Structure 1
Amino acid sequence: MASTTTTTTTTGTTKHIISELPTYITVYSDGTIERPRQAPPVPPNLDDPTSPVSSKDITISQNPNISARLYLPKNPIHKLPILVFFHGGGFFFESAFSKLYHQHFNTFVSQANTIVVSVEYRLAPEHPLPAAYHDCWTSLQWVASNQEPWLINHGDLNRIFIGGDSAGGNIVHNIAMRAGSEPLPNDVKVLGAILQHPFFYSSYPVGLEGVKLKSSDHDFYCSVWNFVYPSAPGGVDNLHVNPLGLEAPSLEGLGCERMIVCVAGNDGIRERGVWYYEIVKKSGWKGKLELFEQEGEDHVYHIFYPESENGQKLIKRLASFLHE
């Protein structure tokens, strides 16, 4: 990850790369960071008459800086489930305010008939893990405290869900574990958890990884984790990324009643999602557990292509999960 490549800036000074995940993120010696794959930000659409969904941005905390984009179907008749969502991006890029997630949730919310609180948590390397975990827990506490008019007027605190894709799916697991041991304001409980192509890893292969994964893939996943959480005890066997890792508590303590784990057949971390489903099933956890697999699709296909046939199929399944 380290490099000696130098670059001349517009002011004539030179800087060099101190760390990078090629094509994803580059950190320079002068403190600047480039994220080439970051989707551009877009504004919310609070009063767009052409959209069936309203959205607005709110501040959850000023110290640390945590915010969120809220989505609400127009003209809701009944109290709606609340989905607190944690976006993907390897813990180091993407945003609740990006065009990618904004377009996804305009599609998702219009069909799922739910309120979404899409959390803008702090990113590595400026804020290494566990900062994102703390931010997302703070966001769930904020939702449970029920201070926001959209939640007060239209949300059902008895139907709070947590969800996320990729790194966000990892966050869902960690928040669900915390919810099993720490109370939320107003004695609110997490009803369900949605893990979409969750990012887990370990020093040893699981399932068919020994056959399917190249050594370069293994090195990449390890590099991502070491980049975003360089101080993690146990490295890739840290309990936050390996639920059976170093000093990990029993999954029997997951703090939700229902869970759906979604995987994609062509996804490099597909085996991890199936593995997670299996270890939860064997853990003694008393909740209702489901595995949803879409053959022939790659990582977070439904985020990139929510209007596609298989994207629609997953959205409909998750909508049903939210209203069961």
Structure 2
Amino acid sequence: MACNIGKEVDREFLPYVTVYKDGSVDRPLETPFVPPTPHDPATGVSSKDITISENPLIKARLFLPKLADSESSLKIPILVYYHGGGFLFESAFSADHHLFLNTLVSEAKVVAVSVEYRRAPEHVLPIAYEDSWAALNWVAGSGSETEPWLKKHGDLGRLFIGGDSSGANIVHNLAMRAGKESLHGGVKILGALLTHPHFWSSKPVGTESIEGHENAAPYVVWNFVYPTAPGGIDNPMINPLSPEAPSLQGLGCSRLLVSVAEEDLLRDRGVWYVEGVKKSGWIGDVELVDVEGEGHAFQILRPGTENANKLIKRLADFLQK
């Protein structure tokens, strides 16, 4: 983290982000970045960094599982992944997400594209959504035609999108967009993974408290990362069940898995979302995974634990079907 002693603060959202008047930004809680690994010693997974677009600048980290000589031409599912961090911090290059995707790619035997979308506050929403859609279209088009790992091993007939927290929010919005706007070449999304999705609204749901609802972290985060959002916290991108939101019947995928955690503030939102999908008339298979005794993004923040390993196995099973 850069030294910003003596700099004048413009605005801040503590403890996550401080913006200084010179335009510099501090992210005190951000996980350190790590380089890609040509051959991860623990999993055998290889990774590399690529540039999807120069203008705007969109990067990604690709992951390829260890394949036997007999599998040198094997076609495997593609997972386009969007990291969490409240649209504010964390990265496709963060140590925790790198470790998580090494483990998931090894378990699921998929080729993964972890997208480095532009983040707030330097780039407020909806820029992250636009970058994420552009990256997905790249995978469906020129990426699978020119990027060696995708060209040789990627099966566009088994295209998945996935993400955690704010990344899961992005996944929902991409799936909705894919329901009304074709991806390059008419490629279809087979399935979507949403782990601990970041949704909220002006009215509490489930066990959420009425008192202090407007000061809850998901509410404050949204106002910070998308201050001009039409409808504020009831914008359909954060409240997919708002009166102005398009019907969830329009989700542009065939299968959906939503994972929640008992001790997560966002737990009831995930359940609420699944119930909304079921009631919408969406023609597809939706599954809910509810993990007891765990908190938000535990599969990333508590790697190697029994519950983290179990959830990763569950996600892998979804990707292998």
Contact 1:238 1:246 in 2 (8 A): no
1:273 correspondence with 2:265: no
Q: How does 1:127-138 map to 2 (within 5 A)?
A: 127-138=123-134
Give the deviation of 1:247 after TM superposition.
2.3
Amino acid aligned to 1:169: A
Q: Does 1:37 align with 2:29?
A: yes
Distance 2:247 2:253 in 1: 14
Q: CA deviation at 1:47?
A: 4.3
Conserved in 1, the CA contact under 8 Å of 2:199 and 2:218?
A: no
Report the Cα offset of residue 116 of structure 1: 0.8
The worse-fitting range, judged by mean Cα deviation, of 47-56 and 33-42 is 47-56
What amino acid sits opposite 1:208 in the alignment? T
- Contact preservation (8 Å) 1:107, 1:307: no
Matches of 2:310 and 2:270 in 1, distance apart?
Answer: 19
The offset of 1:18, in angstroms, is 2.2
Q: SS of 1:314's equivalent?
A: helix
Aligned partners of 1:234 and 1:246 also within 8 Å: no
Aligned AA (2:203)? Y
Separation in 2 of the partners of 1:235 and 1:42? 36
Q: In 1, distance between residues paired with 2:311 and 2:17?
A: 30
**Structure 1 residue 305: Cα displacement:** 2.2
Map residues 106-117 of structure 1 onto 2, 5 A cutoff.
106-117=102-113
Q: Following the alignment from structure 1 to structure 2, what is the Cα–Cα distance between the partners of residues 152 and 31?
A: 40
Q: Distance in 1 between matches of 2:257 and 2:216?
A: 28
Counting only pairs closer than 5 Å after superposition, residues 208-287 of structure 1 correspond to structure 2 as: 208-210=207-209, 215=212, 218-245=215-242, 247-287=244-284
Task: List aligned pairs for 1:155-234, cutoff 5 A.
Answer: 155-210=154-209, 215=212, 218-234=215-231
Equivalent residues of 1:104, 1:304 under 8 A apart? no
User: How much has 1:112 moved relative to structure 2?
Assistant: 1.4
Note the aligned Cα RMSD (angstroms): 1.7
C-alpha separation between the residues in 1 aligned to 2:39 and 2:304?
A: 23
What displacement does 1:105 show? 1.3
The reply on whether 1:120 has 2:112 as its aligned counterpart is no
Contact 2:204–2:213 (8 Å) recurs in 1? no
Residue number in structure 2 paired with 1:154: 153
Q: CA deviation at 1:232?
A: 0.1
Kept in 2, the 8 Å contact 1:257–1:288? The answer is: yes
Q: Secondary structure at the match of 1:242?
A: coil
Q: Percent identity?
A: 58
Helix, strand or coil for the counterpart of 2:280? coil
Letter matched to residue 153 of structure 2: H
Number of the residue aligned with 1:25: 17
**Deviations 1:107-164 (CA, angstroms, capped at 9, x unpaired):** 1111111111000000001100000000010011011011311111111110000000
Residue among 97, 100, 119 paired with 2:96: 100
1:239 Cα deviation (Å)? 0.8
Amino acid at match of 1:105: L
**C-alpha distance in 1, partners of 2:4/2:250?**
52
Would you say how many aligned residue pairs link Structure 1 and Structure 2? 312
Q: 1:34 is matched by which residue type in structure 2? A: D
What letter corresponds to residue 316 of structure 1 in structure 2?
K
- Separation in 2 of the partners of 1:9 and 1:23? 15
State the alpha-carbon separation in 2 of the partners of residues 82 and 217 from structure 1. 38
CA distance in 1 between counterparts of 2:283 and 2:119 reads 33
- The runs of 5 or more residues in structure 2 that have no matched partner are none
Cα gap change, 1:217/1:308 in structure 2, threshold over 3 Å: closer, same or farther? farther
- How many Å separate the matches in 1 of 2:39 and 2:95? 18
Secondary structure at the counterpart of residue 193 of structure 1: strand
State the TM-score, normalized to the length of structure 1: 0.92
Q: Is the 8 A contact 1:71 1:109 kept in 2?
A: yes
Q: Establish whether residue 298 from structure 1 lines up as the match of residue 295 from structure 2.
A: yes
The one-letter code sitting in structure 1 at the alignment partner of 2:56 is: P
- One-letter code aligned to 1:142: W
Tell me, in whole angstroms, the C-alpha distance in 2 between the residues paired with 1:281 and 1:51: 37
Relative to structure 2, which stretch is displaced further, 110-119 or 249-258?
110-119
Task: Work out whether 1:314 is the aligned partner of 2:306.
Answer: no
Q: Structure 2 CA distance, aligned partners of 1:271 and 1:80?
A: 34
CA distance in 1, matches of 2:247, 2:309: 35
Deviation of the 1:323 alpha carbon: 1.1
Equivalent-residue separation in structure 2 for 1:217 and 1:313 (angstroms): 34
Q: Which moved more, 1:24-33 or 1:247-256?
A: 24-33
CA contact (8 A) 1:86 1:164 kept: yes
